[in-house]
Chains A and B, each alone.
Chain A
Amino acid sequence: MTQFVQQVVVGLGDGSIYASLALALVLIYRATHVINFAQGEMGMFSTYIAWTLIENHGWSFWPAFFFTIFVSFLGGAAIQQAVVRPLARAGELTIVMATIALLVILNGLASWIWKPDEKVLPSPFPTGSWSVGDVQIPQQSVYDLLVVLACVVLLWAFFNFTKLGLALRASAVNPVASRLLGVRVTWMLALGWGVAAALSAVAGMLAAPAQFVFSPSFMQVVIIYAFAAAVVGGIESPAGAVVAGLALGVTINLLGTYVDFVTPDMRLPVALAILLGVLIFRPGGLLGRAVVRRV
């Protein structure tokens, strides 16, 4: 039982990282109707920016954290304006290919600029654990979860209680009508990409200390879990992405602990099997709505 509780907490910690990245994917999908394959690499690149600020410029973690989020926001918006916007009319396959190109470029640039060897991003949180009875609760997992939940609440408030959030939602739902009502839709799309980039920066900066060391490919595993979470939750549902991300983290940790077949190497395939299973039986995702297509 103690092991069970412990694994659930660790799973929630891992899951919160998947959840924030999955949320970023959902935001971009709602705004642009493409899956951004470069989302993980955007987070990876942000993590390297934070690492540079901390290691080379002597910043402490939290100023670097917030400054990186700000820079990532600008970077995400710039990528939307420079790369995605000119292709807006080109069709789904072309935009997907462009995000794959971005993935390759960002990954290449990171190994180029910062060398492909492993780096250490110091954890802002105490690495010890709290003892509750027999249960050892790792503090880092709890703090990761809290940071991500704070981001989710902030975003929820932003989308629901601000005019800008309303304009963003409006331009995702009906770009033409929004434009007629005076919303600058292309700016809104850039804003959406910016917010998604900021979220993936959070995911990266939390994932790097959690994995102890990081290298330019460290987000490639995380992004696959995030894909799974986003799809399982229903690709258009932010709440679904968060819930599915957390659930996925817990499920994978529990399976890894109690099922012998699920060795560390097998965790990813198992997550993808869950993804396939959900897609076959509930193509709209668990919290998504079924899309009716006439075919």
Chain B
Amino acid sequence: MSQRGFGAGGAASLLGAIVMALLPLVLSDTSEYRFAFVGAFFIAALGLQILTGYAGQISLGHSGFMLLGAYVTTILSVDHGVRDLYTIPLAGVVAGIAGFLFGFPALRLRGVYLALATFAISIALIALAKKYEGLTGGGGGKPLTRVLTGHQAYITIWPIAGVMFVFAWLILRGRLGRAFRTIRESEIAAVSLGVNLALTKTLAFGISAFFAGIAGSLYGITIGFVNPDTFTITLSILLLVGVVVGGLGTLVGVIFGALFIEYVPLYSPDILDWVQKPVGLDLDPQAAGAPAAVYGAILLAVLYIAPTGAAGMVHGVVRILGRRLYTSSSTSPPGQVPKRRQA
């Protein structure tokens, strides 16, 4: 995917930006509110995309970095009277520093170990947030100073999301982005090409956590209330699912992932009805657990059918329409992800 021309990605981004700018004209306030959350997930998933899709490091800890960002904003705006919008960059920086520091132990861990260790971040941070009640409001949560309307939330989040998207693109197109992709493909090759493995990995963690912190801060501002249990490991898993569904290694695809995270749990009863009717089943689609079962099944289906995710599918369709059919057979067949395992 890294070889995609600037043209396709650039055109898609531009189209996306225009759509997002025009959407408030047609959306209801409720839908705008939902889209604000899509924006927050978009930013967090961008961060995870940089880490997982480009640098090849898995993380189940991004809900923890979001929690950090949300609490930085809450504590500064409620207890110290700082205007909530001004706290957003700081939320990102605090989470980013935490991510950078976490990168150090992560250096010694690869693959499976890393995924396990990143579990620690979110679980530990939730427990700490509950323990230090004076600062965080504990398990009961802590309200922010104001409650946004859907429109306010939308016009707060999406411009920031646009800036973050460009920021991610700038990082990835340069020297650092190439270093990320190299350590993903082969650490040995990266080192022999002069990439500082330790610094690059910790930077990937730090940058990724910076995005998650900003997303967490915006999530808190939108919802107007911060509670440790919002940022459970389930959110981390959802973010990872979103990135895979959108397509690993593509920035544009992240928008599909963000939409998936927000809307699939919402529409899973309908999806389920649609699937079970032809088969003749009559399960209760409103039951607890049904949404999770549905999005888990979708994740599994994506891994089999479209390992390049939604962006890869769109790209494939466009390519097939645009060129003669046989050219696509020269590339790797669908269903095969480039191997990430190392020698």
Q: Which residues of A contact B (CB under 8 A)?
A: 29, 34-35, 37, 83, 86-87, 89-94, 96-98, 100-105, 107-113, 115-116, 216, 220, 224, 227, 231, 235, 263, 265-266, 268-269, 272-273, 275-276, 279-280, 283, 294-295
**Nearest B residue to A83 by beta-carbon distance?**
B300
For B6-39 the 0/1 string (1 means CB < 8 A from A) is 0000000000000000000000000000000000
Contacts of A265 in B (CB 8 A): 127, 130-131
**21 A–B contacts from the bound complex (CB under 8 Å):** A35-B116, A87-B303, A91-B339, A93-B337, A93-B340, A94-B307, A96-B115, A98-B303, A101-B300, A101-B303, A103-B237, A105-B292, A105-B300, A108-B291, A111-B287, A111-B288, A224-B119, A235-B112, A272-B117, A272-B120, A283-B108
Write the nearest CB–CB distance from A151 to chain B, whole angstroms.
23
Given contacts A98-B300, A102-B296, A295-B187, contact A35 B291 (CB under 8 A): no
Docked Cα-Cα span, A283 to B112, in Å, equals 12
Task: Report the separation of the CA atoms of residues A50 and B304 in the bound assembly, to the nearest whole angstrom.
Answer: 32
B316 CB-CB contact with A under 8 Å: no
Q: Decide: A295 and B197 in contact? CB cutoff 8 A.
A: yes
Contact, CB under 8 Å: A115 / B288: yes
Considering the complex, give the chain B residue whose CB is closest to the CB of A95.
B303
Not counting A93-B52, A235-B112, A295-B191, a sample of 14 additional A-B residue pairs whose C-beta atoms are within 8 angstroms of each other reads: A83-B300, A91-B337, A91-B339, A93-B248, A93-B340, A94-B307, A96-B111, A97-B241, A101-B297, A105-B293, A108-B289, A109-B293, A111-B292, A272-B124
Min Cβ gap A274→B in Å is 10
Shortest CB–CB separation between residue A172 and chain B, in angstroms? 16
Q: Output the least CB separation between B269 and chain A (Å).
A: 12
Interface residue ranges of B176-231 to A (CB < 8 Å):
187-188, 191, 197
- Chain B proximity of A265: nearest CB distance (Å): 5
Does any Cβ of A come within 8 Å of B341's Cβ?
yes
B97-127 interface (Cβ within 8 A of A): 105, 108-109, 111-113, 115-117, 119-120, 123-124, 127
B150 at the interface (CB under 8 A from A): no
Knowing A86-B304, A112-B287, A276-B117, the reply to whether A269 touches B292 (Cβ < 8 A) is no
- Which of chain B's residues have a CB closer than 8 A to the CB of A35? 112, 115-116
Cα–Cα distance between A102 and B340 once the two chains are bound (Å):
21
- Whether the Cβ atoms of A110 and B123 lie closer than 8 Å is no
A268 nearest in chain B by CB position: B123
| Nearest CB in chain A: distance from B63 CB, A | 14
Chain A's interface: helix, strand, loop or mixed, by majority?
Answer: helix
Selected contact of B109 from candidates A91, A92, A102, A279, CB within 8 Å: A279
A8, chain B: closest CB distance, angstroms: 24
Chain B residues with CB under 8 Å of A34's CB are 112
Enumerate chain B residues within 8 angstroms of A97, measured Cβ to Cβ: 240-241, 244, 299, 303
Contact residues in A for B52 (Cβ distance below 8 Å): 93
- Say yes or no: A94-B303 contact (C-beta < 8 A), given A105-B292, A116-B289, A295-B188: yes
CA distance A96 to B289 in the complex (A): 22
Least Cβ–Cβ distance between A64 and chain B, in angstroms:
23
B30 to chain A, nearest CB (A): 26
- Check if B290 is an interface residue, CB within 8 A of chain A: yes
B176 to chain A, nearest CB (A): 19
Residues 270-326 of B contacting A (Cβ, < 8 Å): 283, 287-297, 299-300, 303-304, 307
Residue from A91, A269, A280, A294 in contact with B108 in the complex, judged by beta carbons closer than 8 Å: A280
**Minimum distance in angstroms from B214 CB to a CB of chain A:** 25
Q: How far is the CB of A140 from chain B (nearest CB, A)?
A: 27
A231:B113 contact, CB within 8 angstroms = yes
Name the residue on B nearest A291 (C-beta): B110
The smallest beta-carbon distance between A196 and chain B, in angstroms, is 15
**Bound: A265/B131 CA distance, A:** 8
Q: Which single member of A86, A113, A273 contacts B124 (CB below 8 Å)?
A: A273
Partner of A96, one of B112, B187, B197, B338: B112
